[in-house]
Amino acid sequence: MTSSTPAITLPHGIDGATFLRDYWQKKPLLMRSAMPATAFRLAPDELAGLACEAEFESRLIIEHPNGAWEVRHGPFAGDEFAALPASHWTLLVQDVDKYLPDVAQLMEGFDFVPTWRIDDIMISYATDQGGVGPHTDAYDVFLMQAGGRRRWRLSYTQYSDDDLIPDLEQRILSHFHIDEEWILEPGDVLYLPPGIAHWGIAEGECMTYSLGFRAPSQQDLAADWFQHLVSLTDMRRLLDPPDLRLESPAELSEGACEEAARLLDPLPSTRSTDYRVWLGEHLTEPKPQFQLLPPDEAWSEQDLHDWLTAGRQLHRHPFARMAWARIGDDEVVLFSQGESRRLHHRMTDAVKLIAEHRHFGATELARLDASAEALSTLLLQLLNAGILEPQEQD
Ligand SMILES: [Mn+2]
């Protein structure tokens, strides 16, 4: 087992259901002492080390004394940090959860919101007065104060692209009306819905972990859905109706329109099973750098049996995205990495266990009301796709 999961302590009088009803995607919530400060283990120089590695997407944002903003992209050379000023800069590293299991584990505390929306944990280190400037994001975020103090200013003004500082790579608002201001201490968590302008400024050195969510645009969904529809088509061609009678040979008749519709109507609608399966696949599609590979040696049924009976755990590869859905009364489907596995509805509890938990073992599996054979088949598929991995012992 890895370290125990630090659950989020919601403020008094707010439970997961209240949070979803009153705050999620609606309004900000400051949660004082929501997490133990000991949950955040990464030291600033370790974060700087990650920003020097090519696998990590990292940025340095420097606010110069003349008010100019500078953005530099990693990977950085180690001595680049030593050459920076004493204040007014921040280092941001994306997707830290994909490589550090301790960081991925923090996500389990947030299972009161839809986990299929989770994108990544970005970690930022800032020197005194450092930050990314005032801005809005298009997605939900939980800002976890990991170390030091950060002043958060919120604005309820609706800003547009016209309010941005022009010709700047980073989206920074040129003006900001402060409606709310809090200083976050280690263990405090601030939830922000999409579109709320915010401005974080380090008060002395600080570290913040941002759990970011995904909000695909209508354009993204349409582009992928229509591409999926195209993939289902063949080369059948438009014919004229058999009872063709012409009033005018140049007229695009009602009958001709109907014949064209006859080619398109058999394609699935957004009410179809095909659509649900496509949506789950679309939403669990990983970023290109987080594709999974099969293990070097394939797992056999015997390997799996031996592993579990030895009391050892299976864990989700940190690259893996998971979701599940019901299909009618008879089927469930497990989604991961843009793929789907359709299963008998008796596998529902197994699918939930796998999609909700980052690690589990024989004890959890034994509680399931699934056929041992079907369960073993599914686990082997996931292990041999690299989605599940044997949990190395600490
Ligand atoms: Mn932000």
Query: Same domain for 259 and 345?
Result: no
Query: Same domain for 202 and 221?
Result: no
The mean pLDDT value for 178-183 works out to 97
Asked which of 5-19, 172-186, 281-295 is least confident by mean pLDDT, the reply is 5-19
A 10 A CB-CB count for 17 gives: 9
Q: State the distance from the centre of ligand 1 to the C-alpha of 339, rounded, in angstroms.
A: 31
Cα-Cα-Cα-Cα dihedral sign, residues 368, 374, 380, 385: negative
Task: Give the per-residue pLDDT at 394.
Answer: 52
Q: pLDDT tier at 242 (50, 70, 90 boundaries)?
A: confident
Please write the tens of the pLDDT for every residue from 379-391: 999 999 999 999 7
Query: Same domain for 319 and 187?
Result: no
The CATH number of residue 125's host domain is 2.60.120.650
- How many domains does the structure of the chain reveal? 3
Nearest to 63 by CA among 148, 168, 137, 138: 168
The mean pLDDT value for 230-244 works out to 93
Q: State the distance from the centre of ligand 1 to the C-alpha of 102, rounded, in angstroms.
A: 23
Measured distance CA(322)–CA(337) in Å, rounded: 7
Task: Give the per-residue pLDDT at 2.
Answer: 44
ω into residue 75 within 30 of 0, thus cis? yes
Query: Same domain for 93 and 173?
Result: yes
Measured distance CA(344)–CA(356) in Å, rounded: 19
Q: What percent of the chain has pLDDT over 90?
A: 92
Q: State the distance from the centre of ligand 1 to the C-alpha of 20, rounded, in angstroms.
A: 21
Q: State the distance from the centre of ligand 1 to the C-alpha of 266, rounded, in angstroms.
A: 44
Task: Give the per-residue pLDDT at 212.
Answer: 98
Task: Give the per-residue pLDDT at 391.
Answer: 79
Q: State the distance from the centre of ligand 1 to the C-alpha of 39, rounded, in angstroms.
A: 22
Query: Same domain for 144 and 263?
Result: no
Sheet of 388-390, strands arranged across: 359-360, 314-316, 388-390
Domain limits at 329? 288-390
Yes or no: say if 296 and 386 are a contact pair by the CB < 8 Å rule.
Answer: no
Q: pLDDT tier at 6 (50, 70, 90 boundaries)?
A: low
**pLDDT at position 169 over 90:** no
Task: Give the per-residue pLDDT at 95.
Answer: 98
Q: State the distance from the centre of ligand 1 to the C-alpha of 138, rounded, in angstroms.
A: 9
Residue 20 in tokens: 């979803």
Asked which of 151-155, 163-167, 322-326 is least confident by mean pLDDT, the reply is 163-167
Residue 375 falls inside a structural domain:
yes
Residue 353 falls inside a structural domain:
yes
- Any residues with CB less than 8 A from the CB of 350 and at least 6 apart, and which? 343, 365, 368, 370, 374, 375, 378
Yes or no: say if 87 and 129 are a contact pair by the CB < 8 Å rule.
Answer: yes
Partnered with residue 388 across adjacent β-strands are 316
**pLDDT at position 393 over 90:** no
- Any residues with CB less than 8 A from the CB of 18 and at least 6 apart, and which? none
Residue 8 in tokens: 């989020």
Partnered with residue 58 across adjacent β-strands are 93
Query: Same domain for 189 and 222?
Result: no
Residue 288 in tokens: 């290109």
Distance between first and last Cα of the chain: 7
Yes or no: say if 169 and 243 are a contact pair by the CB < 8 Å rule.
Answer: no
Q: State the distance from the centre of ligand 1 to the C-alpha of 128, rounded, in angstroms.
A: 18
Query: Same domain for 95 and 230?
Result: no
Residue 240 falls inside a structural domain:
no
Residue 10 falls inside a structural domain:
no
**pLDDT at position 104 over 60:** yes
Measured distance CA(47)–CA(145) in Å, rounded: 15
Task: Give the per-residue pLDDT at 1.
Answer: 38
- Grouping H, G, I as helix, E, B as strand and the rest as coil, residue 357 is coil
| Distance (Å) of CA 208 to CA 8, 186, 292, 361 | 16, 9, 28, 32
**pLDDT at position 311 over 60:** yes
The mean pLDDT value for 77-99 works out to 95
Residue 275 falls inside a structural domain:
no
Q: State the distance from the centre of ligand 1 to the C-alpha of 274, rounded, in angstroms.
A: 35
List strand residue ranges (DSSP E) for the chain, in order. 29-31, 58-63, 69-73, 89-93, 118-126, 141-155, 180-184, 189-192, 197-213, 314-316, 322-327, 331-336, 339-344, 359-360, 388-390
Query: Same domain for 26 and 136?
Result: yes
Residue 167 falls inside a structural domain:
yes
Query: Same domain for 190 and 73?
Result: yes
**pLDDT at position 316 over 60:** yes
Q: State the distance from the centre of ligand 1 to the C-alpha of 24, rounded, in angstroms.
A: 16
**pLDDT at position 370 over 80:** yes
Task: Give the per-residue pLDDT at 167.
Answer: 87
The mean pLDDT value for 25-34 works out to 97
Q: State the distance from the centre of ligand 1 to the C-alpha of 313, rounded, in angstroms.
A: 36
Q: Which DSSP letter does residue 171 get?
A: -
Sheet of 331-336, strands arranged across: 322-327, 331-336, 339-344
CA of residue 374 relative to chain centroid, distance: 29
| Mean pLDDT, the chain, integer | 95
Yes or no: say if 2 and 389 are a contact pair by the CB < 8 Å rule.
Answer: no
Residue 110 falls inside a structural domain:
yes
Q: State the distance from the centre of ligand 1 to the C-alpha of 153, rounded, in angstroms.
A: 11
Measured distance CA(39)–CA(48) in Å, rounded: 19
Residue 123 falls inside a structural domain:
yes
The mean pLDDT value for 365-390 works out to 95
Cα-Cα-Cα-Cα dihedral sign, residues 164, 167, 171, 173: negative
Identity at 31, one-letter amino acid code = M
Query: Same domain for 25 and 107?
Result: yes
Yes or no: say if 88 and 130 are a contact pair by the CB < 8 Å rule.
Answer: yes
Query: Same domain for 228 and 181?
Result: no
Query: Same domain for 184 and 308?
Result: no
Q: State the distance from the centre of ligand 1 to the C-alpha of 142, rounded, in angstroms.
A: 10
**pLDDT at position 48 over 70:** yes
